[in-house]
Chain A
Amino acid sequence: MLELAIGIILGSCALGAGIAMIAGIGPGIGEGNAVAKACEAIGRQPECKGNVTTTMLMGCAIAETTGLYALVIAILLIFVAPGRLVDILMETIK
């Protein structure tokens, strides 16, 4: 019975981490848009390539933030949560 409970905990943590990383879609679309517009801008005005590239990298890094929040939650779910949850389970059994 205990094995089943621990198995459910581990499986749910792994599933949760996987589901959390769906958030990667958002930054993907956003950064793709940003790069597309930057390419258009460079095509229109090749002389301001340096400025456009710097601003684009900056914007990309900020758009990435939501994806990184998801990554942090996924990492917590994989590396931290199982141990904590199993500890809680053991304490309740006692």
Chain B
Amino acid sequence: MENDKQRFKLLDTVYIAMMILPVVFGIVLKILTTPLSEGISISGAKIFFTIKMPIQDLPITESQVHSWLVMISITGLCLFLTHGLKEKADTKRQHIAEWIVENTQKLVDGNMGEYFSGFAPFIAAILGLSAFSSLLALFGLYAPTSDVNVTAGWAILVFFLITYYKMKCGPVMYAKSFADPPLLAPLNIIGEVATPISMAFRHYGNVLSGSVISVLLATGLQGLSAIVFGKLPGFLGEFPFLQIGIPAVLSVYFDVFSGLLQAYIFAMLTMLYVAGAFNADEYFRRKAINNAKS
């Protein structure tokens, strides 16, 4: 009995460490690799090293490393929340876990219908990964979602899902769906390709514009405080007083609100597009005919 309790506590510590250590690792990595420089610059993801590949070299960038850190962190969080589940919920963490699962299931059932109720884990994964990636900016780290490659990867995954569910009724029906009014076929094909592009650019543009505006504001406030307090003697004259607190107000909007909203919208659009691509009536009609034949 005593032994069990100790093991439970030990596992808990391991899971909490799994949640926190990746973020600490990211901050240490950032401190070690950022060169000392004057002023603030806006740049893309840093490239740590490049792996030689036959066709195209594979650069390992900040965004890849940080998205792996986020994934490890989320895994730790999930393991911590589901550790020691009981049939009747009596701990706080089980209540939180149940609340998350129930709400995601409700969201998916409400937006996608009965046939897609197995999509809840996928949607929850997209929501969690996207939200925590954007929230990583709160620690001063590079948010993976402000790299177009990351969001484009997710959008291409969604595009494959859409195509798969359109193909469910056979390739002929898939080809026919483009020529709905036959004259508009080129436009329909462009629209099909535009779906993943707009999803990727929407998410990336929102997060990136937030970080660019934050950097511009920080630089501006530095200059302003140099003008206002520049006459003060010694250390007081050099310290950027106006940078205290004011950028935090914008950060609440750009990092927290905008990041979470974009995560929600990405998940919502995934649900709507995938559910809209599936022609349920036709599929069940064909299935019934096939069943009658055999």
Which residues of A approach B to under 8 Å, CB–CB? 57-58, 61-62, 64-65, 68-69, 71-72, 75, 79
B265 touches A58 (CB 8 A): yes
B158–chain A nearest beta-carbon distance, Å: 15
Find B206's partner among A57, A64, A69 (CB 8 Å cutoff).
A64
Is the CB–CB distance between B42 and A65 below 8 Å? no
A28 to B: closest C-beta gap in Å:
14
Inter-subunit contact A64/B202 (CB<8 Å): yes
Contact with A along B196-233 (1 / 0, CB 8 A): 00100110111011001000000000000000000000
> B201–A72 contact, CB under 8 A?
yes
Interfacial residues, chain B to chain A (CB-CB below 8 A): 42, 44, 148, 198, 201-202, 204-206, 208-209, 212, 261-262, 264-265, 268
Contact of B202 (CB < 8 Å), options: A57, A68, A79: A68
Q: List 23 A-B contacts (CB under 8 A).
A: A57-B261, A57-B264, A57-B265, A58-B265, A58-B268, A61-B202, A61-B206, A61-B261, A61-B262, A61-B265, A62-B202, A65-B201, A68-B201, A68-B205, A68-B206, A68-B209, A69-B201, A71-B209, A72-B201, A72-B204, A75-B208, A75-B212, A79-B42
Shortest CB-to-CB span from B215 to chain A, Å, is 12
Q: Which residues of B contact A57 (CB under 8 A)?
A: 261, 264-265
> Which residue of the partner chain, among A58, A62, A71, A79, contacts B205 with CB atoms under 8 Å?
A71
**How many residue pairs, one in A and one in B, have C-beta atoms under 8 Å apart?**
35
Query: Which A residues are in CB contact (< 8 Å) with B198?
Result: 65
Main SS class of interface, B:
helix
A58–B263 Cα distance when bound, in Å, is 11
**What are the residues of chain A within 8 A of B212 when measuring CB–CB?**
75
B103 to chain A, nearest CB (A): 13
Q: How far is the CA of A58 from the CA of B262 in the complex (A)?
A: 9
A26 to chain B minimum Cβ distance, whole angstroms, is 15
Taking CB atoms, residues of chain A closer than 8 Å to B261 are 57, 61
Chain B residue numbers with a CB within 8 Å of A79 are 42, 44
Query: Nearest 10 pairs between A and B by C-beta?
Result: A68-B205, A61-B265, A71-B205, A65-B202, A65-B198, A71-B209, A72-B205, A68-B201, A72-B201, A68-B202
Q: How far is the CB of A12 from chain B (nearest CB, A)?
A: 20
* Docked pose: A2 CA to B209 CA in angstroms: 33
- B82 shortest CB reach to chain A, Å: 28
Docked CA distance A65–B155 (Å): 15
Neighbouring A residues of B201 by C-beta, 8 Å:
65, 68-69, 72
- Please give, as numbers and ranges, the residues of chain B lying within 8 Å of A64 by CB-CB distance: 202, 206
B198, closest chain A residue (CB) = A65
Kindly state the separation between the CA atoms of A64 and B44 in the bound complex, as whole angstroms: 23
Cα(A73)–Cα(B184), bound, Å:
28
Which residue of the partner chain B has the closest CB to A70? Answer: B205
Across the interface, which residues of B come within 8 angstroms of A72, CB to CB? Answer: 148, 201, 204-205
Contacts of B202 in A (CB 8 A): 61-62, 64-65, 68
Least CB distance from A24 to B in Å reads 11
Set of chain B residues within 8 Å of A58, measured between Cβ atoms = 265, 268
Residue in A closest to B208 when the chains form the complex, CB atoms: A75
Interchain CA distance A68-B264 in the complex, whole Å:
18
The residue among A57, A65, A79 with the most chain B CB atoms within 10 A of its own CB is A65
Q: How far is the CA of A65 from the CA of B265 in the complex (A)?
A: 12
Bound state CA distance, A86 and B36, in angstroms? 28
Cβ contacts under 8 Å, B208 to chain A: 71, 75
B265 and chain A: residue at smallest CB distance: A61
Task: Write the chain A residue with the least CB distance to B197.
Answer: A69
